[in-house]
Structure 1
Amino acid sequence: MTLNSIGLDTIKTKEIAVDLNKLLSNFQIYYQNLRGIHWNIKGKRFFDLHVKFEELYNDANMKVDLIAERILTLGETPLHTFNDYVAHAQVPIGKNISHDEKAVLLIVDSLTKLLKIERGILDKAGDANDEGTNSMMSDFITEQEKTIWMMKAWLS
């Protein structure tokens, strides 16, 4: 077994980096969706949702950077083109969404897809003894589960 500079199996970390790049791509689509619904939201709930969507896109933007830096830490290269992002997208692409419930449903659906990717990475990171990636995924999962709960409560 060959170890990288942080003491992890290079074969396993390469596989994790592939999955992190898939997550990075999906987070970029999610981020852009959030920007779009932030800009385009209309209706009586505009003021509350406009602020909430800004909070979420700022958080997503921070996570994009964390994911890319983790890929670099593992010795790989983060994807960085829109073509790559779209090619790996599993989250739905929201276009021209201005209705409040459709916007919140897009968030719930997107986070559900992100959680699935993150749980897969969490499993691989655990197997590779990659505590850095493991910790990051655990933090993301905890936050996103809570956001889904809140969004679903809002929809009720």
Structure 2
Amino acid sequence: MQQLNVIGLDQAGAETLAGKLNQLLANYQIFYMNVRGFHWNIRGERFFELHVKFEETYSDLLLKIDEIAERVLTLGQQPHHTYSKYLDNSAIKEAANVHEGRACVEHILHGYQTVIRLQREILSAANEIDDEGTASLMGDYITAQEKTAWMLTSYLK
């Protein structure tokens, strides 16, 4: 017999989905710290425009970190909250000593590509268990981030 959690989703499916969301959370945390570092350490002729853009980017990432952690809680699970866990579970790696504008933007583009791929997986898994809340969140993220990826790609040309 199927056991449902507090929001009416299959318990086992919600646990699996929360695991994927924790993986996404780990990627966002490392992504956030990378962009924060780019903001602090950017140098060169595009300093002013990139310094502001990086702040805008890390502020958005921080908002998503909180939303993802709260979604894990909504599914009845616990969000990971240690950097050791984030480092172990993130496909995005730390970017140390990156301060040249183009390299920073390339790292950010790679970060978006990574989270978009994972969000598509989560979207599919959410749809399988009729989890509209998670599916909607992922759909919103993907829509905005695909446009951002296109813009970053245009910037790099």
Paired residues for 1:5-154 under 5 Å: 5-154=6-155
Q: Is the 8 A contact 2:87 2:93 kept in 1?
A: no
Aligned residue pairs total 156
Runs of 4+, deviation exceeding 3 Å? none
- Which runs of 5 or more residues in structure 2 are unaligned? none
Q: Which amino acid is 1:106 matched to?
A: H
Q: Which amino acid is 1:119 matched to?
A: R
Q: Is the 8 A contact 1:92 1:110 kept in 2?
A: no
Structure 2 length normalisation: TM-score? 0.98
Q: Can you list the C-alpha shifts for 1:39-97, whole angstroms capped at 9, x where unaligned?
A: 00001100000000000000000000000000000000000000000000101321111
Identity %: 46
Partners of 1:146 and 1:46 in 2: how far apart? 23
Partners of 1:38 and 1:75 in 2: how far apart? 35
Q: Is the 8 A contact 1:115 1:141 kept in 2?
A: yes
Secondary structure in 1 matching 2:99 = coil
Partners of 2:124 and 2:90 in 1: how far apart? 21
Partners of 1:108 and 1:142 in 2: how far apart? 15
Q: Which amino acid is 1:59 matched to?
A: D
Secondary structure in 1 matching 2:109 = helix
Secondary structure in 1 matching 2:96 = coil
Partners of 1:7 and 1:84 in 2: how far apart? 29
Partners of 1:92 and 1:137 in 2: how far apart? 22
